[in-house]
Amino acid sequence: MSDASLPLQAEDLEPVRAARRISGESRLVQWLLVAISLAFLCLFLFLPLITVFVEAGARGWQAYREAILEPDALAAIRLTLLVAAIAVPFNIVIGIAAAWAIAKFEFRGKSLLTSFIDLPFSVSPVISGLVFVLLFGAQGYFGPWLKANDIQIVFALPGIVLATIFVTFPFVARELIPHMQSLGSAEEETALTLGASPWRTFLTVTLPNVKWSLFYGVLLCNARAMGEFGAVAVVSGKIRGLTNTMPLHVEILYNEYMGAAAFAVASLLAGLALVTLALKTLLEWHFADAIAASRRH
């Protein structure tokens, strides 16, 4: 249709819409499909989300406040923030390094490296925690040595951080790689020929170009880091007030039949999810082009 007899804007829209009008489904079928979709989403998406907030408020504002401000809950919130504050920057550095190597250079074993980076996505979270217990647990490969030197990794902050980094490892890289690939290297090469240092080139040319997809990756990485359950559950030991993250705290409260309190803490995490979703959607609307290339998970 590159030479259609319309102005450009109309050209972009019309053919599809025309096809739909001429040969689309009947109104009844359309209505039916929309209804099926909505019913499916209600059953599996909207109801659970609403439930979290309804149950959280079931015992009133006072109970909600208490559940959140209770010392163990506060400790869990602090730990969750701390873990994310370590794991996310770490993954940003790794993600940028990996994306730079993979997107800007051609080398053998590149596709293998790419699939290795994606590997944690196809590993069960429980296994992601298990591997660190096998390495650093009391009966693990490095267990005796760690004990002798009085270093604790499993059932402590380092284990939680390691497990969190494992499960969030691919997020930043896989947003950056397709974007950097689609941008090519011409701008960097220009900057270098103009005499910019490598660092300056990276900071003033590469980074500004990919900042939104970087932010996008960080957003998803952070959501997963704060919400990770399975991997952290295995390595944390679930010591209240010490190695309990927010999701683990939710589990403990729930198992102790303190449903309202569990949902109160859960509502904070659900709130985080909604903020993440809102920012993500905003990014997708405003920077559609930059992110389009990487919008598959």
DSSP secondary structure, 111-132, as one string = HHHHHHHHGGGGS-HHHHHHHH
For residue 277, state whether it binds other proteins (rule: CB under 8 A): yes
Q: Which of 67, 77, 120, 155 binds other proteins (CB under 8 A)?
A: 120
User: What are the φ/ψ torsions at residue 234 (nearest 5 degrees)?
Assistant: -70, -40
Residue with tokens 């947003």: 175
Per-residue binding string, other proteins, 137-156, x by CB under 8 A, is x-xxx---------------
- Interface region with other proteins, contact rule CB under 8 A, candidates 64-72, 144-152, 208-216, 258-266: 258-266
For residue 107, state whether it binds other proteins (rule: CB under 8 A): yes
- Interface region with other proteins, contact rule CB under 8 A, candidates 24-32, 61-69, 70-78, 145-153: 24-32
DSSP tag of 204: I
For residue 77, state whether it binds other proteins (rule: CB under 8 A): no
For residue 190, state whether it binds other proteins (rule: CB under 8 A): no
For residue 270, state whether it binds other proteins (rule: CB under 8 A): yes
User: What's the CA gap between 38 and 58, in Å, rounded?
Assistant: 27
156 token code pair: 């402590």
User: What's the CA gap between 160 and 245, in Å, rounded?
Assistant: 9
Sign of CA pseudo-dihedral 103, 106, 111, 116 = negative
Cβ proximity to other proteins: between 61 and 105 the closer is: 105
Residues 46-65 within binding reach of other proteins (CB under 8 A): 46-49, 51-52, 55
Q: Which of 146, 188, 212, 290 binds other proteins (CB under 8 A)?
A: 188
For residue 98, state whether it binds other proteins (rule: CB under 8 A): yes
CB of 39 to other proteins, least distance (A): 9
Count the residues of the shown chain that bind other proteins, applying the rule CB under 8 A. Answer: 120
Cβ atoms 226, 218 nearer than 8 A: no
For residue 43, state whether it binds other proteins (rule: CB under 8 A): yes
Write the CB contacts of 107 (distance below 8 Å, at least 6 apart in sequence): 101
- Interface region with other proteins, contact rule CB under 8 A, candidates 61-69, 89-97, 174-182, 208-216: 89-97
Residues 207-236 within binding reach of other proteins (CB under 8 A): 220, 223, 226-230, 233-234
For residue 33, state whether it binds other proteins (rule: CB under 8 A): yes
Write the CB contacts of 29 (distance below 8 Å, at least 6 apart in sequence): none
Cβ atoms 219, 50 nearer than 8 A: no
Cβ proximity to other proteins: between 149 and 297 the closer is: 297
Helix, strand or coil for residue 48?
helix
Residues 165-184 within binding reach of other proteins (CB under 8 A): 165-166, 169
Residue 39 exposed, middle or buried by CB count within 10 Å (0-12, 13-18, 19+): exposed
Helix, strand or coil for residue 20?
helix
